[in-house]
């Protein structure tokens, strides 16, 4: 590393980094790095294929479908059709916490796989998949199952979706098949989309027999990593807000089947679940509101937004009481920690919304985020949903089906009038996400699908006090003498 790299300003640092690449790669990677200049219109390239040969943090389509969205659902058996390594990689019990409902089931501790062998690759694996489904049904008697294709299953043409439909008719339970082979799309984002489509078509709306609360919500894009959603639900319950279903941390098939009865959807991780929010609004009339329930002040702000949406004075008053109680209790714990952390810096390289949301948590602690980026974001996750009309649809994105959703003739019941909802959308409260870029400050860098070279040079320049990332690169930071904290686990 040159001495020059450790003293460069953010614009010069980005220019210096790209000189290390071949010209064609340099032109591509430069579009994925933005030296942030607040108050100016800036654009970033995202959701594009990684450069071959560059080490990337990304996961695959299968990881997004099974590992992120479907895997945390506690009362479904999730069978992976592929080699055992694929199943172990997406075994969510290591991070996604879950509990059985009263009298219900929890299969998160189990790892279900067809464990494909060379003879299955040669002669086909559908027979083995059918046998695995029957065996799981006989032993565990689940309410529902999901089947997930991996690269080998897709390459030999095994029809996971067809087998699921066949066995669903035979066994009399929903069996959802997902053709989520790892090579589809450019990252795990493709798997999120596939999972959203499957859950929406096969699960949401199955159960109308439910009494809905006046202030009932669904929590979308919360994965209960380390038990987050239990704390969030505690706060909501204390405020008098009823969570019908969570997609998908500690989620349950039976809860998701009732989710269409909610009065509002709140969206935490925009990228992984915005499809569901939009489809539920189109079919059932449920509006969605972007929130951030990571960090003290951010959570308080989100609670106030929910209270404002419901327009109930008693609810808003109760929310203010809860905020006062919770902030006072948290501040006692935070104050001595903030004294030690004041002025320290962090870098965040994560998936989903955490590179955005954790900036607010660090701010609560007196810290500044100097570089941030995501693995599988799209441009709207960085620049806001206003840019969606300008995003070019490429061949990889066209491989993922966009469902055509129409209002349900009997169950389309928006909780507010069309005029009220249109007004709230115009004000930016509903159906809106401004993205990560507007919340980043001067002399910081926004970077998409970061490479190890870029990480090393940015660390040498900024000398952060901590780097928050995933398992693939944490040891690099620690060997450089920088503390590392996984935000995926």
HEC string of 307-356 equals HHHHCCHHHHHHHHHHHHHHHHHHHHHHHHHHHHHCCCEEEEEECCCHHH
Q: Report the pLDDT value the prediction gives residue 94, as an integer from 0 to 100.
A: 66
Q: Report the pLDDT value the prediction gives residue 170, as an integer from 0 to 100.
A: 98
- 211-337+415-432: which CATH topology? Rossmann fold (3.40.50)
Peptide bond into 248 cis (omega under 30): yes
- Name, in order, each residue with C-beta under 8 angstroms of 419's C-beta and a sequence gap of 6 or more: none
- From the candidate CATH numbers 3.40.50.1980, 3.30.70.20, 2.60.40.10, 3.30.70.240, the one assigned to the domain spanning 61-185: 3.40.50.1980
In b/e form, how buried is each residue of 289-298, taking b as 16+ CB within 10 angstroms? bbbbbbbbeb
Task: State the span(s) of the chain assigned CATH 3.40.50.1980.
Answer: 1-58+342-384+436-489, 61-185, 211-337+415-432
The residues that are catalytic are: 60, 63, 94, 192
- Name, in order, each residue with C-beta under 8 angstroms of 64's C-beta and a sequence gap of 6 or more: 180, 187, 188, 189, 190, 191, 192, 194, 195, 272, 376
Q: Report the pLDDT value the prediction gives residue 96, as an integer from 0 to 100.
A: 87
pTM of the model: 0.94
CA dist 419 → 70, 91, 288 (Å): 36, 45, 16
Q: Report the pLDDT value the prediction gives residue 263, as an integer from 0 to 100.
A: 96
Question: How would you write the pLDDT of the chain (489 residues) with one tens digit per residue?
Answer: 444 445 578 999 999 999 999 999 999 999 999 999 998 999 999 999 999 888 788 889 999 999 999 999 999 999 999 999 999 888 866 688 999 999 999 999 999 999 999 999 999 999 999 999 999 999 999 999 999 999 999 999 999 999 999 999 999 999 999 999 999 999 999 999 999 999 999 999 999 987 778 999 999 999 999 899 999 999 999 999 999 999 999 999 999 999 999 999 999 999 999 999 999 999 999 999 999 999 999 999 999 999 999 999 999 999 999 999 999 999 999 999 999 999 999 999 988 789 999 999 999 999 999 999 999 999 999 999 999 999 988 878 778 889 999 999 999 999 999 999 999 999 999 999 999 999 999 999 999 999 999 999 999 999 999 999 887 788 888 889 999 998 877
Q: Which CATH architecture has domain 1-58+342-384+436-489?
A: 3-Layer(aba) Sandwich (3.40)
Which residue, among 189, 396, 401, has the nearest Cα to 279 in the 3D structure?
Answer: 401
Q: Report the pLDDT value the prediction gives residue 473, as an integer from 0 to 100.
A: 82
Rounded Cα distance between 325 and 272, Å, is: 32
Rounded Cα distance between 78 and 14, Å, is: 43
Q: Report the pLDDT value the prediction gives residue 435, as an integer from 0 to 100.
A: 96
Q: Report the pLDDT value the prediction gives residue 2, as an integer from 0 to 100.
A: 46
- Name, in order, each residue with C-beta under 8 angstroms of 392's C-beta and a sequence gap of 6 or more: none
For β-strands 33-35 and 445-447, DSSP reports them as antiparallel
């Amino acid at each position: 590393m040159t001495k020059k790299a450790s003293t460069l300003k953010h614009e010069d640092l980005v220019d210096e980094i790209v000189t290390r690449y071949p010209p064609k790669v340099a032109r591509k990677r430069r579009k994925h790095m933005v030296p942030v200049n607040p108050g100016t219109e800036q654009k970033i390239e995202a959701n594009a294929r990684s450069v071959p040969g560059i080490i990337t943090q990304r996961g695959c389509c299968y990881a997004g479908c099974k590992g992120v969205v479907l895997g945390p659902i506690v009362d479904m058996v999730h069978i992976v059709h592929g080699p055992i390594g694929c199943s172990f990689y997406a075994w969510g019990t290591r991070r996604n916490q879950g509990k059985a409902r009263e009298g219900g089931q929890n299969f998160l501790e189990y790892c279900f796989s067809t464990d494909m062998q060379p003879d299955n690759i040669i002669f086909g694996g559908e027979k083995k998949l059918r046998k695995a489904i029957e065996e799981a049904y006989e032993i565990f008697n689940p309410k529902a199952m999901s089947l997930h294709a991996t690269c080998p299953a897709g390459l030999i043409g095994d029809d996971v979706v067809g087998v699921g439909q066949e066995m669903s008719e035979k066994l009399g339970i929903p069996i959802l098949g997902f053709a989520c082979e790892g090579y589809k799309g450019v990252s795990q984002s493709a798997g999120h989309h596939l999972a959203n489509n499957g859950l929406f078509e096969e699960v949401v709306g199955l159960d109308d027999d439910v009494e809905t609360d006046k202030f009932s919500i669904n929590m979308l894009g919360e994965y209960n990593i380390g038990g987050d959603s239990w704390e969030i639900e505690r706060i909501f319950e204390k405020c008098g807000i009823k969570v019908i279903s969570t997609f998908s941390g500690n989620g349950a098939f039976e809860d998701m089947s009732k989710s269409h009865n909610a009065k509002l959807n709140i969206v935490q991780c925009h990228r992984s679940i915005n499809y569901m929010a939009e489809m539920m609004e189109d079919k059932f009339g449920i509006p969605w509101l972007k929130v951030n329930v990571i960090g003290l002040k951010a959570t308080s702000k989100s609670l106030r937004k929910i209270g404002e949406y419901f327009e109930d004075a008693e609810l808003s008053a109760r929310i203010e009481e809860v905020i006062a109680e919770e902030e006072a209790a948290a501040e006692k714990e935070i104050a001595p920690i903030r004294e030690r952390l004041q002025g320290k810096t962090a870098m965040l390289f994560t998936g989903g919304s955490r590179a955005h949301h954790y900036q607010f948590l660090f701010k609560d602690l007196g810290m500044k985020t100097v570089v941030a980026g995501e693995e599988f974001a799209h441009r709207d996750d960085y620049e806001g949903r206003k840019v969606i009309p300008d995003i070019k649809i490429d061949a990889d994105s066209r491989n993922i089906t966009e469902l055509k959703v129409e209002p349900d003739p009997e169950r389309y019941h928006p909780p507010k009038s069309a005029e009220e909802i249109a007004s709230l959308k115009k004000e930016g409260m509903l159906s809106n996400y401004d993205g990560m870029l507007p919340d980043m400050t001067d002399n910081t860098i926004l970077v998409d699908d970061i490479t190890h070279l870029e990480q090393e040079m940015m660390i040498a320049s900024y000398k952060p006090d901590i780097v928050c990332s995933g398992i693939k690169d944490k040891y690099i930071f620690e060997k450089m003498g920088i503390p590392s904290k996984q935000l995926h686990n």
